[in-house]
Amino acid sequence: MSDCLFCKMVSGEITPDTLYEDDDVLAFRDINPQAPTHVLVIPKQHIATLNDVDEIHAPLVGKMVRTAAAIARQEGFADAGYRTVMNCNADGGQTVFHIHLHLLGGRPMHWPPG
Ligand code: AMP
Ligand code: ZN
């Protein structure tokens, strides 16, 4: 997807502040952090929204979740706790249409979210 911001990060056209990368996923710091640590974990494959996640993507989404947990451990707040979020479409507040798992940590989170 040539016009997708996150695909441009995967291709190297845009260089994010990367924390982790392998053949399947990329994790980088959010440009507008909402917590002391705010990381986005994306699949390298373009999938527009959570509604487009199919059975075949289940291992990939599992890897995204495990990557977020590994980064939480690495950043030192795994035991204290953290939040992961995937926003979907307009009411969910999705602004970049390439799925991404937000990892927020380093402060207490509140519920319900806004
Ligand atoms: P969402 O609103 O759930 O689609 O999340 C999109 C996220 O991407 C927001 O938290 C933005 O701050 C973040 N974002 C947008 N542009 C960039 C960028 N160039 N580098 C890192 N994060 C970005
Ligand atoms: Zn994309």
Give domain limits for the chain: 5-105
In tens, the pLDDT along 36-57 reads 999 999 999 999 999 999 999 9
What's the CATH superfamily of 5-105? HIT-like (3.30.428.10)
Residue 6 has a pLDDT of 98
Q: Does the pTM exceed 0.75?
A: yes
Residue 1 has a pLDDT of 72
> Predicted confidence band at 2 (pLDDT cuts at 50, 70, 90)?
confident
Centroid of ligand 2 to alpha carbon of 106 (angstroms): 28
Of these residues, 57, 100, 102, 110, which one is catalytic? 100
Burial of 106 (0-12, 13-18, 19+ CB in 10 A): middle
d(CA 72, CA 76): 6
> Which atom of ligand 1 is nearest to 29's Cα?
21
Q: What is the 3-state secondary structure (H, E, C) of 38-98?
A: EEEEEECCCCCCHHHCCHHHHHHHHHHHHHHHHHHHHHCCCCCCEEEECCCHHHHCCCCCC
